[in-house]
Structure 1
Amino acid sequence: MKYTFTRNVITRALVLALPVLASLPALSYAQDEQRDNAQDKLERIEVTAQKRTQSIVDVPASISAFDGKRLEELGLSELDMISNLTPGLVIQEQSPNNPGFVIRGITSDSGSSQISPRVSIYYNGVDVSRSRGSYFELFDIERVEVVKGPQATLFGTAAAVGAISVITRKPDDFDNAELALGAGNLSQRRADGFINLAGDDLKGRLAFSYRERDGYIDNIAPEQDDMNGIERTGARLSLRYTPSDAVTADFIYSYEKNDDTGTAFKNGIYAPTGGDTSPYSFVEMTGSPYSEDALGAPKLGLDRTIDDFNLTVDWRLNESTTFTSVTGYREFDSLEIFDADGTQAWFLEFAEDAQGEQWSQELRFSHTLDNAFILWGANYFSEEGSQRVPFSTEESIYFNCLGALGTGLPCINEDGSVNLLTPVLTGGALNEIAYQGSYTNMGDNRSWSAFFDVTYDISDELTVSGGLRYIDESRESGFAAVMPNSQLLTLLGQPTQPLLPTVSAGGAVLSDSGDDSALLPRFNVLYALNNDTNWFATASKGQRSFVVDVSSTLNEQGEVVADSSEIPAETIWNYETGIKGNWADAVNYSASIFYQDYSDFQVTLQDEAGNFYTDNAGDATNWGVETEFTAYLSNQLELFGHVAYLDAQIDDDANNGQLAGNRFRLQPEWTSSLGLMNDMMVSDGLMLRSSLVATYRSEIFFEPANAPIAGIPIKEDAVTLLNGSVGLYDEQAGWSLVLKGSNLLDKEYLVDAGNTGGSFGNPTFIAGPSRLVYLEFRQRFEW
């Protein structure tokens, strides 16, 4: 087969080769200079996962950390990008409204207000884990920490399998500002920056971010946008007040607005007009003709707003004791209109109208003694939320696409036209029968907890630590449904029923509640094998809160009543050991092996109405190995990467039902990354910095069933992606001009499959982003 090397291919090859070519001169630097530079960088890796500042090598747990500079250098502006470089972490973004967080095989992605998350997302020390409000832009960030394994003692019950902690930059001690502007393919427009003003006692910082681009999946439907386009605005005001050397108060207000064009759910059975069923080609997603009235907005897309308030006060009572108060309030309001069947048919048109507010208060004391660190305190957390799911369809299209009319006519003809059968079935009496209904789940969840954690240095080499959190939870769940009976079935003289198998409560709220409590311990050992290497071992217990699952049903008298069940709390014991340290003063590394044992493993399933619910899948176990490293090969050349293996599945036991032996969803067996970053001085003060990062993910399943739908596999084979950047930096003048790109080889891959359409026998597929390249100019100002 003859291959022509086009200009595009040659340009792509040169861009990918730049980091390697630029690195060659750096290899000639002296070994002592390498060691000095590497040691400086190693010592700067500090984290606060244990509620105090520590070197990452002294934390007896598996933890990955990225500072703000590294995020900026690699162009990591979204949470899902971080997962590509973090062992044991997978973040899936269908949209900001529907993310999935996976740590060591365990997924936390349900938007139901009745279900608790498994993964804690902490934002400036406050739990913001409810999924519809937990995904946010990364701008003006100080640090991101990813802690694996249960962290209930330090982070609360939502950290059943781990925690992601994001810390934003606080005001500097001097006046400065920064502005960045960028543009790229798909009409990308980007801007971010900050202004920082410093007074004696009061300092302030105002940061912002704006990103916009067109969708990478064309939509040929009239009056609809191309799919997977974004428009995201973020702003953050940070105030620091220091009335004395002993007191520091930080107030932070964060605002985020998303106006995305919606997710491309491509039907795997029916093609758009003139197209095919490939997830990577154009779609014809029309939505509902009555979208504004039935679903809440005139066309497909996402409208989400987040407001977040945080007040943290640190008061050093004396040389050894500090009191800390952390107060947080967060609210989100999101409306996402989506075409769940992913076709031109008025078939499965849904929306999700989710609202929530969270309030938390933590009070803690920390004591730093000669050979011990003691932490104790209490926390109160409450959240109220609702998730309303409106539904719109045309009745004859709905029944025909499900194959329930027996006409022998397809849902969509080969020429792309949709069979509207109402005029035929009603003898011309009606042209269409528009149907709309909705169901809503609600949750009012409250908890208080007390915790105690102590670290004790037995000797210069041996440190032990242990902690315990007592938690008391109350949960009240509600459910409401307005689901009319089918007009078409009545006209045809058949038994009438709602289109979706949900018992209508006429708008009345059905509810139930429950209470639970638990003790969650952790134990850690850290031993210094030598000056450069630490060994650690840990055992910890995590818990995902119990679920009060409420829907509607009919009692023996035919009355609508609550159909409620309590799914017991999912518990996990994590056992882990590993080493971390540095080698030859040039390589920072960590490696660990872990085993996790689950009881009452909770899985999120979807019923025939498209409603998500929680079920008990029985027992589950997983084990794995995680390694990561950073090697400073010279003063200018850095190599970094990770390799992780995970064997995670529901136990193959008959007691665990139909999911027995299945692998966890969204979890590859193997993940790895390899990155190269090089700095080369091209003139006095002017530096050429280039990077290249390759990431790998093995096969994954998108649904717990691990099975095809309508004969179509609901999985993705192994995926390798390349990201990179090359740019000029002038540190003295404070400017940079950088070309950044993701998915440089324009690899086609899936983000998700199955989805709501899969519950109706019409699986849909979501394509990952195509190649994105943009040029960014950044200027720093000081005065």
Structure 2
Amino acid sequence: MRQVSLLTLIVASAWATGAAARQEAATPAAPAADTAIAEIIVTAERRDSSVQKTAAAISALTAAQLERQGVTQPQDISKAVPALKIATGGGGYTQLAIRGIGTLSGNAYSEQAVASNLDGVYVPRPAEVNGVLFDLDRIEVLKGPQGTLYGRNATAGAINIITRKPSFTTGGDLTLEAGNYNQRRVQGALNLALSDAVAIRFSGQVNRHDGYLSDGYDDADESAARLQLRMAPNDAVDLTLSIDHAEVDAHGGGAVQSPFVDPGSPYTGASTAAGQAIFVAAGLKPVLNDGYLDLKTTGAGATLNWKTGLGALTVIPAYRKMDLDTRQYAPGFLLEDSETSRSRSLEARLASPTDAALSWIVGAFAFAEDQTTNIFTDQRVTYSRVIAPKLDTRSYALFGQATWRATDQLRLTAGVRASRDEKTLQGTRLSPLPAVPAAAYPAVCPSPATFSASAGTCTSPIAGDATFKKTTWKIAAEYDLTPSNLLYANLGTGFKAGGFYSSLAPNTFQPENLTATAIGSKNRFLDNRLQINTEAFYWRYKDKQVTHLGPVTPSGFDLITENAGKATLYGLEVDMIWKPTANDQISANLQYEHSRYGSFVYNQSTTTGAPTTSCKVSATTAASVVLVDCSGHRLALAPTWSGGVTYSRGFDLGSGRVEAEITERFESSYWVGDEQVLGQKQKAYNKTDLLVSYTPGDDRWTLSVYGQNLENKAVMSSSFVQPVLGAPYVTLRPPRTWGARLSARF
């Protein structure tokens, strides 16, 4: 019945769009330059195209939008895209999800279900995105599996971060910002045209603010710089070389117990006296305020675009490096992590002209990442451990996609990608055991480990080799009702790579898989003053990777990852922009989503009798192990309703122009953790942002004042259940912030 209702909704939406389009086509008129909605060019399909001509659900945030909304950190992106959830927890770990499909764990072995790309380069560790969000041209959020053109780890979609490129005109800009929580930000760029064919651009940012939590956590202390050299000797060749570096030296992310220890002050940190008392009473190491986050990232790469006789050739070699050193208590216990990542990638693509009867793109991709990780945890009554594994990843892919122009209005597309992942894990696990009850962890190390009674330690080797192969594909059709109205339908697949967890074999898990169907339309009406885009989607998700406290071979328990679930999601997304006058604009987006696990069953280890969960729990034949069944539950990070409305108004003055903008965002209730306990349920909420700016007639500078989250709502973004207390600890989105921003252009 629900599928029938969804089909009815899709057909009705398409019929209404078509009727309106035919009426518009009957009375064509030239758009007025001062009232027409601006076109946005994106590279979502690996070639330049208008958002309105791209048959996919894409949210494109321009440089002006990013500046107005104060986007400087990854979680800021999700404010403008209802389908996207980004949470930055302790240790710099970043969790990404689109329409409820994502990664809830944040360890070094986790792969993401949403691919992050910087200027066409795949960024393997989402923590690296923390230092690159400045001097941007735009951000593109692609919703739905991108298995053909993006490949691995783009199961739910992709985020494309595109920086401003050097131009052949000398100029620059400078932004100064100050606000509450001792907010201080400086961002600048200098563009030098060395000739008509050579330009260089240097940009940088320093961003700092005090902690949003009372004990100093959730602060920022970031600095970053980027240098780019562009050479375009003729119309056929365009080469850009770039290098970037960023450093974070902060207290780091923090978490609070939920339900809140002090409901009247939800941003009270867990290291306060009230928060510590809970841990001391349970015999656990309390949360302290001595956490830190030291993160250094460096990237270097090149982008060559060369128009050849065979087609447009694009070659992108890149190198990225990340060094992470952190101490955090966000999971509800002490966790120290020293991690390095070195990655190299190369992508080459050849694309035909887009106006050909048969347009195509073919390419190859190679990726290598070497990770080393040293992790120490202290949970007192369970066990402490040190893990020192080395994980090497190699990934290769061949891909191609072609579009046939069947008629002047109808186009048919098919694409395929063959991927191969190879992973090797080597390392050692050291478990100090002197104060550990026998029931909590085996007193004798499992073979082939060794046990030292005098030192009270258990040393276990960690090793494994795994290869994963996957073929993903896409088929699509698009039809132009008019030059301004597009209908499309597509069916595609995506996958998230499998991998290891840090325990004795068997310690592997398999890839996740997603098959998605979408029917949508993109439309301009009223002389390009009204834009309405819609997409109805139906996703089938299987082999969900879930990370939890589970039994390991031959005995004991650990934080493991296994394939434990499948789910179905469907819904409708609507985006609208209306510009009734040259001075007024209303933007709105709305998403409805229904999501349910068809099957979500896994074995959970417990030290307290039964795990903290709202799912069904039943006994097993193994001691301290229960069967958890979350089948029929809603996916985490998937509110039924979400959206926002923005109204902006311009006032022309004799000396300049005033712009006022107000944004209201809302979400219905949703879970922030797979355990789905009361403390992990975010209630329905709404938040308001306000911006007022003044720009003089010569457009040389702009002064803005802003307020965000004016209601000061404490909104949860991620969660981890403390394994001994059975209590969820949650990270929070920023509280009410306000400030002023001065931007100058020269």
TM-score, length of structure 2 as denominator length: 0.84
| CA distance in 1 between partners of 2:560 and 2:524 (Å) | 46
- 1:673 matched to 2:644? The reply is yes
Structure-2 change in CA distance of 1:760 and 1:355 (3 Å):
farther
| CA distance in 2 between partners of 1:586 and 1:506 (Å) | 69
Larger Rg: 1
Match of 1:749 in 2: 715
Q: Please report how far the alpha carbon of residue 487 of structure 1 lies from its aligned counterpart in structure 2 after TM superposition.
A: 4.3
CA contact (8 A) 1:34 1:633 kept: no
Structure-2 change in CA distance of 1:759 and 1:256 (3 Å):
farther
Match of 1:516 in 2: 468
Correspondences of 1:294-305 after superposition (within 5 Å): 299-305=290-296
Structure-2 change in CA distance of 1:321 and 1:538 (3 Å):
same
Q: Please report how far the alpha carbon of residue 689 of structure 1 lies from its aligned counterpart in structure 2 after TM superposition.
A: 1.0
- 1:105 matched to 2:100? The reply is yes
Deviation track 1:696-747 (CA, whole Å, cap 9, x = no partner) reads 1111112212234xxxx32110121111211111251511111122112222
CA contact (8 A) 2:715 2:732 kept: yes
Aligned counterpart for 2:677 among listed residues 695, 707, 720: 707
SS in 2 for 1:155: coil
- 1:644 matched to 2:640? The reply is no
Structure-2 change in CA distance of 1:127 and 1:622 (3 Å):
same
Aligned counterpart for 2:532 among listed residues 584, 589, 597: 589
Partner amino acid, structure 2, of 1:593: A
Identity, % of aligned positions: 23
Correspondences of 1:119-130 after superposition (within 5 Å): 119-130=114-125
| CA distance in 2 between partners of 1:610 and 1:508 (Å) | 14
Structure 1 unaligned residues grouped into runs of 5+: 1-30, 220-225, 289-293, 343-347, 403-434, 552-561
Correspondences of 1:343-742 after superposition (within 5 Å): 348-368=333-353, 370-392=356-378, 398-399=380-381, 437-487=385-435, 496=443, 509-551=461-503, 562-584=504-526, 585-607=528-550, 612-652=559-599, 658-684=629-655, 686-708=656-678, 713-730=679-696, 732-742=698-708
Deviation track 1:73-109 (CA, whole Å, cap 9, x = no partner) reads 3322233222222242121222571221111210135
The Cα RMSD (Å) is 3.1
Structure-2 change in CA distance of 1:520 and 1:102 (3 Å):
same
Match of 1:764 in 2: 729
| CA distance in 2 between partners of 1:682 and 1:757 (Å) | 57
Partner amino acid, structure 2, of 1:547: G
SS in 2 for 1:132: helix
Q: Please report how far the alpha carbon of residue 779 of structure 1 lies from its aligned counterpart in structure 2 after TM superposition.
A: 1.2
Q: Please report how far the alpha carbon of residue 202 of structure 1 lies from its aligned counterpart in structure 2 after TM superposition.
A: 2.0
CA contact (8 A) 1:74 1:724 kept: no
CA contact (8 A) 1:129 1:158 kept: no
SS in 2 for 1:622: strand
| CA distance in 1 between partners of 2:493 and 2:647 (Å) | 37
Q: Please report how far the alpha carbon of residue 623 of structure 1 lies from its aligned counterpart in structure 2 after TM superposition.
A: 0.8
CA contact (8 A) 1:740 1:774 kept: yes
Partner amino acid, structure 1, of 2:369: E
Deviation track 1:416-471 (CA, whole Å, cap 9, x = no partner) reads xxxxxxxxxxxxxxxxxxx9632245421111111111112111111111111111
Match of 1:431 in 2: none
Deviation track 1:582-602 (CA, whole Å, cap 9, x = no partner) reads 121211121011111123222
Aligned counterpart for 2:34 among listed residues 32, 37, 61: 37
CA contact (8 A) 2:104 2:673 kept: no
Match of 1:131 in 2: 126
Match of 1:250 in 2: 240
CA contact (8 A) 1:597 1:620 kept: yes
| CA distance in 1 between partners of 2:130 and 2:293 (Å) | 14
| CA distance in 1 between partners of 2:181 and 2:468 (Å) | 51
Structure-2 change in CA distance of 1:165 and 1:333 (3 Å):
same
| CA distance in 1 between partners of 2:90 and 2:359 (Å) | 42
CA contact (8 A) 2:168 2:198 kept: no
| CA distance in 1 between partners of 2:260 and 2:146 (Å) | 46
TM-score, length of structure 1 as denominator length: 0.80
Structure-2 change in CA distance of 1:254 and 1:338 (3 Å):
same
SS in 1 for 2:432: coil
Q: Please report how far the alpha carbon of residue 264 of structure 1 lies from its aligned counterpart in structure 2 after TM superposition.
A: 2.9
Match of 2:312 in 1: 322
SS in 1 for 2:629: helix
SS in 2 for 1:72: helix
| CA distance in 1 between partners of 2:269 and 2:421 (Å) | 48
Correspondences of 1:81-92 after superposition (within 5 Å): 81-92=76-87
Structure-2 change in CA distance of 1:495 and 1:546 (3 Å):
closer
Structure-2 change in CA distance of 1:159 and 1:33 (3 Å):
same
SS in 2 for 1:159: coil
Q: Please report how far the alpha carbon of residue 341 of structure 1 lies from its aligned counterpart in structure 2 after TM superposition.
A: 6.9
| CA distance in 2 between partners of 1:119 and 1:64 (Å) | 14
Structure-2 change in CA distance of 1:157 and 1:761 (3 Å):
same
Deviation track 1:370-417 (CA, whole Å, cap 9, x = no partner) reads 323211011101112234321246xxxx44xx8xxxxxxxxxxxxxxx
CA contact (8 A) 2:71 2:77 kept: yes
